[in-house]
A and B are shown apart, each in its own frame.
Chain A
């Protein structure tokens, strides 16, 4: 499964992304399971709000962190995310 460049990306309605104080980490929660996220993964997923396309997510993060060349890393992560059902496009 790959990311469609034209369509906006939204976080799955059957998963929950939340900050865990005890672990000092963002986590994805789903039926009987949990994935612990590192900071950059969490920042990407927070932008998957159904309004931004891949290119827009990349440019937002490049602006926020004052850097460039993030396209490949972000694309690779989002492909993992869509395969795991954490995000959707439709």
Chain B
């Protein structure tokens, strides 16, 4: 538009470095894309060092090393060291698989600030089933070692229908392990979780019971343990303010170097997400089509454009709108004002039906074989 003064976007604060799609676990709610097996190339060490430097210069300060399993990257200590020198607060988001005491010490010396260990359930049998790998005993040992070496310990448990009944035991486990933070992440239904939704989505009654237990626990451990509770948006009336607003705060770099405004955005059509091999972080953030696409409110149509809450939730999640309504420009159907809101109730009903069915289909585990079959 002629004469329109373009305001410069706020700089990124959060950089999520998805170092690899390789992972020894097979969690059926993995947020990696279904077709991850098709992306075979990984950035090399030099690329990552450059990305860290450029994003830090713009103002990114929180850094997540994620994946896949970031520990499978041999250059992790080198990246951590560079991040510390730049002044990032670096978070290692890991399954704990393959993490030894020696490695924990090495990463601490390199300057890693925090380790988040995921545990899939409070019992060995269920943990190992969901993870698709025998890992429960080792994960608990890793949690102890993380504490022992002075890191703040964050335990992350993804909640779904298979483990939601374990809420009291999960909380007891977090207390026993001495977690400083407990992230109770209700499954968000994208990627692999979308495929497995009928088997993972709990009923509203299950949600409410688990939430009440978690809430009471939160008060009990106040001052000792912080609880991050990721809400289950299917049972909300309004959508989440996804990514704190598109292209305002979060920058994800996928293993092959594609820059994403949110870690699911790879699945959205026509965004032409740029690659860090071709552009600087500054060019990507300030000038690319992908990062400006849903910035602000100009892209909105009804019911968002006339809604008095549009600056609060920014129309919700575009990936969810795309997955559930077929058009990423629609309002997030979680919103009760959305004309497509009925798809949420349909999903809840289908999941409840599936839970009652005697011939329930098995979970589709996240692995390369399934990725190739499904893409």
Chain A positions within 8 Å of B, measured between CB atoms, are 1, 13-14, 16, 18, 20, 22-23, 27, 29-34, 83, 85
Contacts of B116 in A (CB 8 A): 31-32
B223 lies within 8 A of A29 (CB): no
Residues of B within 8 A of A18 (CB): 87
Q: Which residues of B contact A (CB under 8 A)?
A: 11, 13, 58-59, 61-62, 64, 87, 89, 91, 113-114, 116, 150-152, 154, 180-181, 223, 226, 228
The winner among A1, A13, A18, A33 for most chain B CB atoms within 10 A is: A33
Contact B62 A83 (CB under 8 A): no
Known contacts A31-B152, A34-B13; A23 and B59 CB within 8 A of each other: yes
Instruction: Give 4 A-B pairs besides A14-B114, A18-B87, A32-B91 with Cβ atoms closer than 8 angstroms.
Output: A22-B59, A29-B62, A29-B89, A34-B13
Complex: A18 Cα to B59 Cα, angstroms? 13
Which residue of the partner chain A has the closest CB to B151? A14
Contacts of B87 in A (CB 8 A): 18
Residues on B with C-beta less than 8 A from A29 are 61-62, 89, 113
Residue numbers in A under 8 Å from B180 (CB-CB): 14, 31
* List of A residues within 8 angstroms of B223 by Cβ: 1, 83, 85
Chain A nearest CB from B147 CB (Å) reads 10
The answer to whether A34 touches B181, judged by C-beta atoms less than 8 angstroms apart, is no
The residues of A that contact B11 with a CB separation of less than 8 Å are 22
Docked complex Cα distance between A14 and B13 (Å) = 20
Residue of B nearest to A23 (CB): B59
Q: Is there contact, CB below 8 Å, between A34 and B62?
A: yes
Q: Contact: A22 with B89, CB < 8 Å?
A: no
- A1, A14, A18, A23 — most chain B CB neighbours (10 Å): A14
B89 close to A16 (CB less than 8 A):
yes
Name the A residues within 8 Å of B89 (CB-CB).
Answer: 16, 29-30, 34
Contact B59 A30 (CB under 8 A): no
Q: In angstroms, how far is the closest chain A Cβ from the Cβ of B23?
A: 20
CB-CB under 8 A from B113, the residues of chain A are 16, 29, 31
| Chain A, residue nearest B56 (CB) | A22
Shortest distance from the beta carbon of A14 to any chain B beta carbon, whole Å: 4
B62 contacts across to A, CB distance below 8 A: 29, 32-34
Residue from A20, A29, A31, A34 whose CB has the most chain B CB atoms within 10 Å: A31
A31 to B149, CA, bound (A): 16
- Distance between Cα atoms of A85 and B226 in the complex (Å): 9
Minimal beta-carbon separation of A59 from chain B (angstroms):
28
Q: Looking across the interface, which residue of chain B has its beta carbon closest to that of A32?
A: B91
A23 to B60, CA, bound (A): 10
Which 9 interchain pairs have the tightest Cβ spacing? Answer: A22-B59, A14-B152, A29-B89, A31-B114, A31-B154, A31-B152, A31-B181, A32-B91, A1-B223
List the A side residues contacting B151 at CB < 8 Å. Answer: 14
Q: How far is the CA of A1 from the CA of B61 in the complex (A)?
A: 30
5 sampled A-B residue pairs with Cβ under 8 A:
A1-B223, A14-B180, A20-B59, A22-B59, A23-B59
Chain B residues contacting A85 (CB-CB under 8 Å) are 223, 226
Question: How far apart are the CA atoms of A85 and B62 in the complex, in Å?
Answer: 19
- Cβ–Cβ contact A27 & B150, under 8 A: no
User: Which A-chain residue is minimally distant from B59 (CB atoms)?
Assistant: A22
Closest residue of A by beta carbon distance from B116: A31
Distance, CA A33 to CA B114, complexed state (A): 11
User: In chain A, what residue has the closest Cβ to B181?
Assistant: A31
A19, closest chain B residue (CB): B87
